[in-house]
């Protein structure tokens, strides 16, 4: 005989439980329940039918999966929370009775718990931990910038966050993994490549923090507890891949800081004894003026030893697991050593930790970065040092009496823009008191200011002229074009041999009319405008009027535009409804971007026109 189905025993009513039901089942307080959910990664759920899940009630409630609550019931931390509740009762009773010895003994035996098993459960593989480390870095960088002692934070939390942040920065510096930097209103965005994954985090500016009172630091402390454990695991693995012990020794003496910072990435190949021997040799043989050369020699030796070490696979165990590759950056060697030849002095108006982190990440030595004594003690360089090449200062003006010959006085944006561009930019645009160029976000691909693009093309053309008109390198997949350009000295012979026709056929097959125009332009450039018989058809009627040629060109352009528009409409008609909507949305976004770029260009022209008028008026007034 079939059993009758009772209400609330199947379906949504069984799959979901309310928060109050979960509290009764787990026998914990609301704060402990929130803490458990944060640590285990359990979130409230929204049922499809709220009334059915709430067993006919329409009262507002938060729902959780019943299996998640059952999963929490077996959590070891739940037992630790109950033990802590018992401990709090005993401690309160001892303090109330003024039994100080018993209270001290209870406090010494306070129950503790660890989150190691939770990290292993939530991140079974190391790559998953790297992919979820962005929020951890942002939170830790935020708390590292807070006051050291706060009434609503556990003792030592800020110091722990500061230590983890310094260890992470040191790893980025040693591996040269930093790729992108962006100065924004919220703070400074950094992006590094760790094990072929992009990690982006936000660091606040080092200003005095005014802590708001409406922030629930209990919730944030729970997240911070999870994130500090996660980052400790990640840093341990990253330093182990480098062959170094964790935690690293960050308090290096200043005398050997160049060796410690620049060749630390190769410490797996160089032993500490070899490094000490090299330092003693430097101190014994090298004169003060030759210190930089000796440091560079030590760094080159360390790099060569590291390259030799990379040729061997280290078998750490006999389990047959493949050794993971060392973390590396996709940037070129030139970018990694961008500031290697720059000796930088940081004024007291600049953020020391942030700028030194960027400079060291792109190849600068510790001994070639100096700072004002008001920022930090033990600066390797003094302000009057003759080796200083760049002074970073964030002031609107600088007196002429304080300037020294042979130095470039630039604003902090110069360091970031050089790092993003991968080359040292001209210092004139970033001079003290000058109007800075637009600071473009490196996280948006393909957007370059027209002026910078024009400057890049101009510099490229000037380099070509300096090289003596050297021809562009032609890929090996274009043999006809290569043969045509090589015979540019005798255009008529090239035409008789049919090289131009072969190159045109090759261009048509590879890129159509656009590639054909490029081939003709390259041929005219190679021959200096004398294309020979191959271009005779283009100038068959030298007496034709320019207006006639212009009309013909306009007509050809209009016809090509019409054909392109018809082809676009035909292609759009072949799309599905979903693809058509997506295409229309992309077209609308592209048109809006073009309109905004046109508006900015128009505004730029107006500003230039106003500046010229003001300059002209000032000259007239001076006369």
Mean pLDDT estimate for the chain:
76
Across 301-315, 430-444, 464-478, least confident range: 301-315
Average pLDDT of the residues in 53-58: 83
- Structural domain spans, the chain: 12-74, 115-303+325-330, 338-461, 477-531, 577-623
Q: What is the C-alpha to C-alpha distance for residues 278 and 284, in angstroms, rounded to an integer?
A: 10
Q: Would you state the pLDDT for residue 445?
A: 66
| Torsion angles phi and psi, residue 287, rounded to 5 | -80, 165
- Residue pair 175/328 in contact by the 8 Å Cβ criterion: yes
Burial of 178 (0-12, 13-18, 19+ CB in 10 A): buried
What is 426-488 written as a DSSP string? PSGGGBTTSPPPP---TTSTT---HHHHHHHHHHHHHHHHHTTSPPPPPPTT-HHHHHHHHTT
Question: Does residue 471 register a pLDDT over 60?
Answer: no
Q: What is the C-alpha to C-alpha distance for residues 503 and 507, in angstroms, rounded to an integer?
A: 6
The sheet carrying 178-183 orders its strands as 178-183, 188-194, 197-203
Q: Three-state DSSP class for 369?
A: strand
Ranges 106-115, 176-185, 254-263, most confident: 176-185
Fold classification of 338-461 is Rossmann fold (3.40.50)
Write out the H or E segment, with its range, that includes residue 418: helix 413-421
Q: Three-state DSSP class for 408?
A: strand
Average pLDDT of the residues in 539-561: 56
Neighbours of 357 (CB within 10 A): 22
Q: Would you state the pLDDT for residue 138?
A: 95
Query: pLDDT tens digit string along 71-106?
Result: 999 989 888 888 888 989 999 999 999 889 999 998
Alpha helix (H) ranges present in 467-545? 479-486, 491-496, 499-526
- Residue pair 271/301 in contact by the 8 Å Cβ criterion: no
What is 317-329 written as a DSSP string? -SS-PPPPPPP--
Q: Would you state the pLDDT for residue 53?
A: 86
- Ranges assigned E (strand) in 184-293: 188-194, 197-203
Task: Give the residue with greater pLDDT, 48 vs 532.
Answer: 48
Question: Does residue 203 register a pLDDT over 90?
Answer: yes
- Residue pair 385/345 in contact by the 8 Å Cβ criterion: yes
Q: Would you state the pLDDT for residue 556?
A: 64
Q: Would you state the pLDDT for residue 328?
A: 44
Task: Give the residue with greater pLDDT, 569 vs 120.
Answer: 120
Question: Does residue 283 register a pLDDT over 50?
Answer: no
Task: Give the residue with greater pLDDT, 73 vs 520.
Answer: 73
Phi-psi map region of 88: left, alpha, beta (phi>0 left; psi -120 to 50 alpha): alpha
Question: Does residue 570 register a pLDDT over 50?
Answer: yes
- Residue pair 560/554 in contact by the 8 Å Cβ criterion: no
Q: What is the C-alpha to C-alpha distance for residues 432 and 589, in angstroms, rounded to an integer?
A: 38
Question: Does residue 460 register a pLDDT over 70?
Answer: no
Query: pLDDT tens digit string along 318-361?
Result: 333 333 344 444 445 677 788 888 889 998 889 899 999 999 99
Q: Would you state the pLDDT for residue 622?
A: 78
Q: What is the C-alpha to C-alpha distance for residues 188 and 196, in angstroms, rounded to an integer?
A: 22
The whole-angstrom distance between residue 453's C-alpha and the CA centroid of its chain comes to: 23
Query: pLDDT tens digit string along 373-411?
Result: 888 888 888 888 888 899 999 888 877 777 888 888 999
Task: Give the residue with greater pLDDT, 508 vs 483.
Answer: 483
Ranges 142-156, 187-201, 381-395, 551-565, most confident: 187-201
Query: pLDDT tens digit string along 229-274?
Result: 999 999 999 999 988 888 888 754 333 333 333 333 333 333 444 4
- Residue pair 202/349 in contact by the 8 Å Cβ criterion: no
Q: Would you state the pLDDT for residue 619?
A: 81
> How sure is the predictor about 119, in pLDDT bands with cuts at 50, 70 and 90?
very high
| Torsion angles phi and psi, residue 518, rounded to 5 | -65, -40
Q: Would you state the pLDDT for residue 142?
A: 92
Q: Would you state the pLDDT for residue 616?
A: 84
Task: Give the residue with greater pLDDT, 256 vs 608.
Answer: 608
Ranges 182-186, 554-558, 591-595, most confident: 182-186
The C-alpha angle 480, 481, 484, rounded to 5 degrees, equals 90
Could you give the percent of the chain with pLDDT greater than 70? 70
Q: Three-state DSSP class for 398?
A: coil
Question: Does residue 618 register a pLDDT over 70?
Answer: yes
Query: pLDDT tens digit string along 398-457?
Result: 777 778 888 889 999 999 999 998 888 888 889 888 888 888 888 876 555 545 545 554
Q: From 481, 495, 592, 476, select the one nearest 538 (Cα to Cα).
A: 495
Q: Would you state the pLDDT for residue 452?
A: 54
Average pLDDT of the residues in 175-194: 92
Q: From 114, 113, 124, 121, select the one nearest 41 (Cα to Cα).
A: 121
> How sure is the predictor about 24, in pLDDT bands with cuts at 50, 70 and 90?
very high
Average pLDDT of the residues in 465-482: 55
Q: What is the C-alpha to C-alpha distance for residues 385 and 370, in angstroms, rounded to an integer?
A: 9
């Amino acid at each position: 005989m079939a059993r009758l189905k009772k209400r609330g025993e199947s379906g949504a009513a069984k799959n979901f439980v309310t928060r109050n039901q979960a509290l009764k089942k787990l026998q914990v307080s609301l704060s402990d329940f929130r803490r458990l959910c944060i640590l285990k990664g359990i979130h409230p759920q929204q049922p499809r039918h709220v009334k059915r899940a709430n067993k006919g009630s329409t009262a507002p409630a938060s729902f959780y999966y019943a299996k998640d609550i059952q999963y929490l019931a077996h959590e070891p931390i739940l037992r630790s929370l109950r033990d802590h509740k018992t401990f709090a009762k005993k401690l309160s009773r001892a303090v109330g009775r003024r039994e100080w010895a018993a209270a001290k003994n209870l406090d010494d035996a306070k129950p503790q718990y660890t989150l190691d098993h939770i990290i292993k459960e939530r991140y079974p593989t190391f790559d998953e931990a790297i992919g979820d480390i962005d929020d951890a870095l942002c939170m830790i960088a935020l708390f590292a910038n807070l006051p050291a002692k706060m009434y609503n934070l556990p003792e030592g939390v800020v110091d722990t966050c500061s230590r983890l942040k310094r260890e992470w920065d040191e790893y980025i510096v040693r591996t040269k993994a930093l790729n992108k930097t962006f100065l924004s209103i919220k703070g400074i965005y950094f992006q590094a490549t760790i094990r072929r994954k992009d990690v982006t985090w936000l660091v606040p500016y080092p200003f005095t923090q005014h802590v708001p009172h409406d922030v629930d630091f209990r919730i944030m402390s729970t997240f911070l507890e999870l994130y500090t454990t996660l980052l400790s695991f990640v840093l341990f693995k990253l330093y182990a891949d480098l062959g170094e012990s964790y935690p690293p020794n960050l308090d290096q003496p200043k005398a050997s800081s160049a060796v410690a910072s620049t060749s630390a990435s190769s410490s797996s190949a160089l032993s500490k004894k070899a490094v000490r021997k090299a330092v003693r040799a430097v101190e014994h043989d090298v004169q003060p003026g030759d210190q930089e050369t000796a440091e560079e020699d030590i760094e080159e030796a360390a790099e060569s030893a590291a390259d030799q070490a990379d040729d061997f696979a280290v078998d750490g165990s006999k389990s047959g697991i493949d050794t993971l590759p060392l973390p590396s950056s996709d940037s070129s060697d030139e970018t990694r050593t961008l500031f290697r030849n720059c000796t930088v002095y940081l004024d007291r108006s600049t953020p020391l930790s942030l700028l030194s982190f960027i400079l060291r990440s792109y190849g600068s030595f510790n001994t070639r970065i100096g700072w004002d004594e008001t920022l930090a003690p033990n600066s390797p360089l003094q302000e009057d040092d003759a080796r200083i090449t760049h002074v970073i200062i964030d002031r609107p003006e600088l007196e002429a009496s304080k300037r020294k010959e042979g130095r470039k006085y630039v604003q902090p944006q110069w360091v970031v823009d050089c790092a993003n561009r991968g080359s040292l930019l001209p210092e004139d645009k970033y001079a003290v008191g000058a109007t800075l160029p637009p600071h473009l976000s490196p996280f948006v691909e393909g957007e370059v200011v027209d002026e910078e693009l024009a400057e890049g093309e101009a510099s490229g053309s000037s380099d070509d002229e300096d090289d003596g008109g050297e021809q562009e390198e032609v890929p090996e997949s274009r043999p006809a074009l290569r043969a045509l350009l090589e015979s540019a000295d005798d255009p008529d012979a090239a035409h008789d041999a049919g090289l131009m026709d072969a190159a045109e056929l090759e261009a048509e097959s590879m890129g159509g009319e656009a590639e054909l125009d490029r081939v003709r332009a390259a041929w005219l450039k190679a021959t200096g405008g004398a294309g020979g018989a191959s271009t005779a058809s283009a100038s068959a009627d030298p007496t034709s009027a320019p207006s006639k040629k212009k009309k013909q060109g306009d007509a050809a352009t209009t016809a090509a535009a019409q054909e392109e528009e018809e082809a676009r409409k035909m292609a759009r008609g072949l799309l599905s409804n979903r693809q058509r909507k997506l295409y229309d949305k992309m077209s609308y976004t592209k048109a809006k971007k073009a309109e905004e770029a046109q508006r900015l260009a128009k505004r730029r022209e107006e500003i230039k026109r106003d500046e010229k008028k003001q300059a002209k008026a000032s000259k007239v007034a001076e006369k």
